[in-house]
Amino acid sequence: RAKHAGRGKACFFDAEMDASIKARREIENELRHAITRNQLYVHYQPILDSVSSAISGYEALMRWNRPGHGTSEPSVFITIAEESGTIIQLGEWVLREACIEASRWPEPLSIAVNVSPVQFMLPNLYDRIASILQETGLAPERLELEITEAAFVRDRKATISTLMRLHELGIRIVMDDFGTGFSSLSNLRALPFDKIKVDRSFTGILEHDPAARSIVRAIIGLGHSLGIQVVTEGVETELQRQIVTNEGCQQIQGLLLGKPDIEPSVKMAARESYLAARAEPRTPAQPH
């Protein structure tokens, strides 16, 4: 009897597995055509100076308008794209798209683009990035590349040398999701990081968790003493903003300050035409 129940369970499990493998394969196949079918787009989230609240730049976040599924967020498709290799094309697409967009912004607004560890397996990653900058005319000083420490796991030496060259070109290198995953302090010493992003999992619990607060304080202190800028991501409340600002964090990003949204250049243009319209002399109201 127990055996029977066990077998039934196994069958149920297999059916579930089949469904998820099938769903995965569908995503994998559809993703291959997402670029040519114009289904990808980019959301931009502002990154602010924590003291002045001025916008210093935006982070590009990929979105997929998947037919029949609406807008898909990266958690649904990035891992699958990484495992199938499609992330190489997607990553190049998002970088080009973001550089074109940023080239329309007033200087010195910067653009931050996420680069997958899989992209670092390309022997010519440096050349591909350099040629996108040339093609789009964006100054390297306005580009930030966000990488996670998973990028060092496969071929540490090659990744370091690529990062060094990108940094020498003038691109800023950002360590994303710091404090999670494969974090190692020696990476901060050996690599040309310009900025550290405190992972949002710490930010979310800052108000109630003294340990999280100590960790964030330590990361900010570490950044200061190494001459590396620190940005806190995932800031959702005013109290979180105050805490990290008081600890000396220079930049903040999160839903409190602005959610990921359409191209800033579109919003900037709309705002300018609104201001222009307001500045135009109005026809005096008719007396009645």
Residues that bind ligand C2E (CB under 6 A): 45, 61-62, 73-75, 78, 91, 94, 114, 116, 146, 176-177, 200, 233-236, 254-255, 260
Residue 60 or 285 with smaller CB distance to ligand C2E: 60
82 binds Mg ion (CB under 5 A): no
Nearest CB to Mg ion, comparing residues 45 and 159: 45
- Residue 26's binding partner, choosing from ligand C2E, Mg ion, none, with beta-carbon cut-off 5 to 8 A by kind? none
CB of 157 to ligand C2E, least distance (A): 22
Residue 114 binds to Mg ion (criterion: CB under 5 A): yes
Smaller CB distance to ligand C2E: residue 91 or 223?
A: 91
Stretch that binds Mg ion, among 71-79, 118-126, 177-185, 235-243 (CB under 5 A): 177-185
Of the candidate residues 30, 144, 149, 177, the single one contacting Mg ion (CB under 5 A): 177
**For Mg ion, the closer CB: 31 or 234:** 234
Q: Which does 16 bind (CB under 5 to 8 A by kind): ligand C2E, Mg ion, none?
A: none
State the binding partner of 223 from ligand C2E, Mg ion, none, CB within 5 to 8 A by kind: none
Residue 229 token pair: 């800028």
**Cis previous bond, 108, omega within 30:** yes
Q: Measured from the CB atom, is 30 or 125 closer to Mg ion?
A: 125
Nearest to ligand C2E of 114, 162 (CB atom): 114
With contact defined as beta carbons under 8 Å apart, do 73 and 60 qualify? no
Q: Which of 30, 101, 144, 146 lies at the binding interface for Mg ion (CB under 5 A)?
A: 146
Minimum distance, C-beta of residue 73 to Mg ion, in the bound complex (Å): 12
Q: Three-state SS string across the chain, please?
A: CHHHHHHHHHHHHHHHHHHHHHHHHHHHHHHHHHCCCCCEEEEEEEEEECCCCCEEEEEEEEEEEECCCEEECHHHHHHHHHHHCCHHHHHHHHHHHHHHHHCCCCCCCEEEEECCHHHHHCCCHHHHHHHHHHHHCCCHHHEEEEECHHHHCCCHHHHHHHHHHHHHHCCEEEEEEECCCCCCHHHHHHCCCCEEEECHHHHCCCCCCHHHHHHHHHHHHHHHHHCCEEEECCCCCHHHHHHHHHCCCCEECCCCCCCCECCHHHHHHHHHHHHHHHHCCCCCCCCC
* From the list ligand C2E, Mg ion, none, partner contacted by residue 45 (C-beta under 5 to 8 A by kind): ligand C2E
Give the footprint of Mg ion on this chain (CB under 5 A): 114, 146, 176-177
